[in-house]
Chain A
Amino acid sequence: MKKQQRHWYHYLWIWSIIYFSLGFVNILFAWLGLISFCLPLIFAIGGGNKLFCNRYCDRGQFLRVMGSQVGLSLRREMPEWMKGKAFRYGFMVFFFAMFFNIIYVSWLVGSEIQGIQEAVTVLWTFQLPWNWTYSVGITPWVAQFAFGLYSLMLTSEIIAIVAMLIYKPRSWCVFCPMGTLTQTICKAKYVPTAK
C-alpha cells in the first residue's frame, strides 16, 4: 500500500505543546489562542471550506499523532448521542456562552466592577496549583482575558484528549464547537452543483 505523504502541516501538533507551555511561562501568551478562533472562521467565511480542520488545526494534528501514530487511542465506537446534532449544537452553544462569559468578566475587571482572578480553572471547577506570572503594569482586563481563555483552551484540550484515549483519535472533532460552527457556516454557503 502506498505510504501516506507527509506535509509540513502534519507537524502543527508541536504548536499545541508550545502554546500550553508558554502559558506557564507567562499567562499573557494565552492570547495567542485567538488564532485558533480566527483562522477557522476566515477559512469558512472567506473560502467556504474547512481547510483549517482538514489540515491546519494543531489540535486535530495533535490528536492524530497521539491517537494513531503513538497509538494511545483505544478506538472504541463513540456513543450515538455524542455524534448526534442535539449534543453537537448544544455543546457549541455552551462553549461559546463560556467564551462570551470570559469577555464579560474581562469587561467587569476593566470597568473595576470586579477584581482580577489570577487563576486557571479547568473543567470550570479545578484551579491549577501554579504561581501564574504576567508582566507587571499590564492592564488588568488583558490579564483577566488571558486567564479565562487559557482555562477554556486547557479544558477543551483535556476533553479532547480523554475522547482521543477512549474513542477514535479525532473523536473530539465530532463535537468540537469550532468544527461544528465552521461546518454550519459552510453549509449555509454551500450551493450543490450537479455533476
Chain B
Amino acid sequence: MGKLSPRHAVVDSNMCVACGTCADVCPTGAMEIVSGVFAKPIEEKCVGCGMCAKECPASAIRVEVRS
C-alpha cells in the first residue's frame, strides 16, 4: 500500500444527505456513497484536496490532518 496523504476528508454522516456530489467531483474516485445513506472516503485514495468539501451542499465534509 502506498503512503497516505497528510490530510484527508472526514464526513459527518449525520449531516450527509447522500446526494453524491462529492463522489462526482472527487478527482481520485475516493468518495463512495454507502448504501444511499452517507458518503465515505476510501482512505487509500483520498489525497485531501478538498474538492468534495467545496461542493458539498450540506457542509458535511471537513478536510483534516490525519491522526
Shortest Cβ distance from B47 into A: residue: A1
Cβ A83 vs Cβ B59 within 8 A: yes
Interface magnitude class on chain B: 20 to 34
Interface centre among B24, B28, B55 (most CB of A within 10 A): B24
Cβ B49 vs Cβ A183 within 8 A: no
Cβ A173 vs Cβ B27 within 8 A: no
CB distance from A90 to the nearest CB of B (A): 15
Shortest Cβ distance from A54 into B: residue: B20
Given A4-B27, A168-B55, A170-B57, is A187 in contact with B37 using a C-beta cutoff of 8 Å?
Answer: yes
Interface centre among B19, B49, B59 (most CB of A within 10 A): B19
Shortest Cβ distance from A171 into B: residue: B57
Cβ B25 vs Cβ A4 within 8 A: yes
Cβ A168 vs Cβ B56 within 8 A: yes
**Cα distance A4–B27 in the bound complex, in angstroms:** 6
Interface centre among B21, B23, B35, B36 (most CB of A within 10 A): B36
The SS class assigned to the A binding surface is: helix
B20 proximity list for chain A (CB < 8 A): 50, 53-55, 60
CB distance from B23 to the nearest CB of A (A): 6
B37 proximity list for chain A (CB < 8 A): 183, 186-187, 190
In the complex, 21 of the A-B residue pairs with CB atoms within 8 angstroms, ordered by the A residue number, are A3-B27, A4-B25, A43-B36, A44-B36, A48-B35, A49-B35, A50-B18, A53-B20, A53-B36, A55-B20, A55-B24, A68-B55, A77-B59, A83-B59, A170-B55, A171-B57, A173-B17, A173-B19, A179-B19, A183-B17, A183-B37
Contacts A169-B57, A170-B55, A171-B57 given; 11 further ones with Cβ under 8 A? A43-B36, A51-B36, A64-B24, A83-B15, A167-B57, A168-B57, A172-B57, A173-B17, A173-B19, A186-B18, A186-B35
